[in-house]
Structure 1
Amino acid sequence: MLQSDLVYKGWVWDVRSDRVAYGEGEIVREYVAHTGAVAIVAVDEKDRVLLIQQYRHPIRHRDWELPAGLLDIPGEDPLVAAQRELAEEADVTAAHWEHLVSSWTTPGGNDEMIHIYLATGISASEAAHVREDEEADIRVEWVPLSDAADAVLAGRMHNGILSIGVLATERLLRDRA
């Protein structure tokens, strides 16, 4: 790295411009500097996956997603963040947690790494969380895991994190059977 400049300081994310030595010369690349995130594939005893639908302004659409959230608390362990986000977004907790997969979400445009966890042993939270903005009208739906995987492969669900999580979970549970 020859130089890194903050181009824009945002409310959630920043934009950086880096000048790097590459090959025989130099290149400049701008990208969104991201805090990182977690997502949760919550599966109940009937092999249904918990999906949420909420408004996402960049795509001007209510998107089907996994419960997820930012790693925006300094020093917070990703597993602890996942446990917090599942309770905050869906009012459920899980007795069993395991890391499923981690992925760069859009490596050509940001440096976000998302850690996806499988949560089982699902039960209702003791209290409902107060939600605001896009989260105020989150729709929660339990969908058979195989139906969610079919929807991903048929192009009816487009969220990349949901796609990775659902397909990885279906493979993991199939291999364990």
Structure 2
Amino acid sequence: MRKLCFGILLVLVFMSIGCSFRPGTHKPHLYRGDEKAAEAYIHSKGYLITSYRGELNTYTLQKSLLRETWCAQVWSVQSEPPENYFGREITTYGFVVEKHPLSKKLHLPTEVNIMVTDGRAIGGYSFPHSDQMTGAAYSLEGKELEELTGLTYTDWKDQWDEKYGDQADN
């Protein structure tokens, strides 16, 4: 009888925990390894995680990769230069967050992608969580390339190509 009562009580506890999360409420995720570093980095910025998108990609950073648009856009909004990480494996983890400057500015949830190498978060980037919006990545703090560099896109691109483009190898 005691085992039956304990079993019923246990089922009720699990049901109440499961029902306490309404749709749109973040359910805790058990982060492991590099995910923990990414989560801590997000929290250090003051953002609230509402969902976890998982591991998005892994690549070894090479100078030649910086010639690809996606990689140039991601690294253009980092506080450290990419050459600090040449030859290192970078893994990117995705999250949807609240309390982000883009959320306040655009009235949309914000996605942040955190880059991790050697168990340490090294940076990230953000963008609106919407299928209707396209464009380049924002910094992790929601700033555009022009705000970070003080350059127009054309001037920045010329400098980027000079440093990392095909001609830079000669």
Task: Tell me whether the two structures share a fold, i.e. TM-score over 0.5.
Answer: no
Q: So what's the TM-score if we normalise by structure 1?
A: 0.27
User: Which is greater in Rg?
Assistant: 2
Indicate the structure with greater strand content: 1
Q: So what's the TM-score if we normalise by structure 2?
A: 0.28
